[in-house]
Chain A
Amino acid sequence: MTARQAHRSSLHLKNVAIFRGNRFVLNAINLAATQGDTVWIRGANGSGKSTLLRAIAGLLDIHSGTVDIIGTVALSDENLALESNLPLSKALQFWAFLDNATPQDSVVSMTAMDIMSLSEVPVRYLSTGQRKRAGLARILASKASIWLLDEPYNGLDSASTAHLDAAIVAHSNAGGITLLAAHQSPSINVSQSVVLDRLEHAA
Chain B
Amino acid sequence: MKKFIQLVVREIRLAWIGGGIWLPVIFYLAVATLFPFVTGPDKALLARTGGGILWIAALLSTLLPVERLILPDRQSGVLDQLNIRGWSDELIAVVKIVGQLFAFAIPLLLATIIASALIGLPESKLQTLLIGLAFALPALSGLAVTISALTAGLNGASALGGLLLIPLAIPILIFGAGTLSDDPGNAMQLLAATAVAIAALSPFAAGAALRAGRN
Residues of A within 8 A of B (CB): 20, 54, 57-61, 73-75, 77-85, 94-95, 97-99
Point out the residue from B6, B14, B76, B82 that lies within 8 Å of A80, measured CB to CB. B76
B80 touches A98 (CB 8 A): no
> B193 CB to closest chain A CB, in angstroms?
36
A80 touches B77 (CB 8 A): yes
Query: Given A79-B77, A80-B77 in contact, is the A73-B6 Cβ separation under 8 Å?
Result: no
Query: Given A58-B84, A94-B10, A98-B85 in contact, is the A81-B3 Cβ separation under 8 Å?
Result: no
| Majority secondary structure, A binding face | loop
Residue in chain A with minimal CB distance to B2: A97
| Majority secondary structure, B binding face | helix
| Count, chain B residues at interface, CB 8 A | 18
Q: Interface readout for B8-19 with A: 1 if CB under 8 Å, 0 if not?
A: 001000100100
CA distance A57 to B215 in the complex (A): 13
A94 touches B85 (CB 8 A): no
| Extra 19 A-B pairs, beta carbons < 8 Å, given A59-B84, A80-B76, A83-B10 | A20-B215, A58-B83, A59-B83, A60-B215, A73-B84, A75-B80, A75-B84, A78-B77, A81-B76, A81-B77, A81-B80, A84-B76, A94-B6, A94-B10, A97-B3, A97-B6, A98-B82, A98-B85, A99-B85
B84 touches A61 (CB 8 A): no
> B11 CB to closest chain A CB, in angstroms?
12
B214 touches A59 (CB 8 A): yes
Query: Given A59-B214, A61-B215, A94-B10 in contact, is the A85-B81 Cβ separation under 8 Å?
Result: no
Contacts of A94 in B (CB 8 A): 6, 10
Query: Given A61-B215, A81-B78 in contact, is the A74-B3 Cβ separation under 8 Å?
Result: no
CA distance A83 to B17 in the complex (A): 12
A79 touches B76 (CB 8 A): yes
B80 touches A79 (CB 8 A): yes
Query: Which of B10, B17, B77, B215 has the largest count of A CB atoms less than 10 A from its CB?
Result: B77
CA distance A78 to B17 in the complex (A): 25
CA distance A92 to B80 in the complex (A): 16
CA distance A75 to B80 in the complex (A): 9
> A22 CB to closest chain B CB, in angstroms?
13
Residue in chain B with minimal CB distance to A75: B84
Say yes or no for B75: interface residue by CB 8 A criterion: yes
> B14 CB to closest chain A CB, in angstroms?
8
Residue in chain A with minimal CB distance to B7: A98
Contacts of A75 in B (CB 8 A): 80-81, 84
Mark out the residues of chain B between 38 and 66 whose CB falls within 8 Å of any chain A CB in the assembled complex: none
User: When A and B form their complex, which 3 residue pairs have the shortest distance between CB atoms, in order from nearest?
Assistant: A79-B77, A81-B77, A81-B81
Sampled A-B contacts (12; CB under 8 Å): A54-B80, A57-B80, A57-B83, A58-B83, A58-B84, A59-B80, A60-B214, A75-B81, A81-B80, A82-B76, A85-B17, A99-B85
Contacts of B82 in A (CB 8 A): 98
Contacts of B77 in A (CB 8 A): 77-81
Residue in chain B with minimal CB distance to A20: B215
Q: Interface readout for B89-126 with A: 1 if CB under 8 Å, 0 if not?
A: 00000000000000000000000000000000000000
A57 touches B84 (CB 8 A): yes
Contacts of A83 in B (CB 8 A): 10, 14, 76
A74 touches B84 (CB 8 A): yes
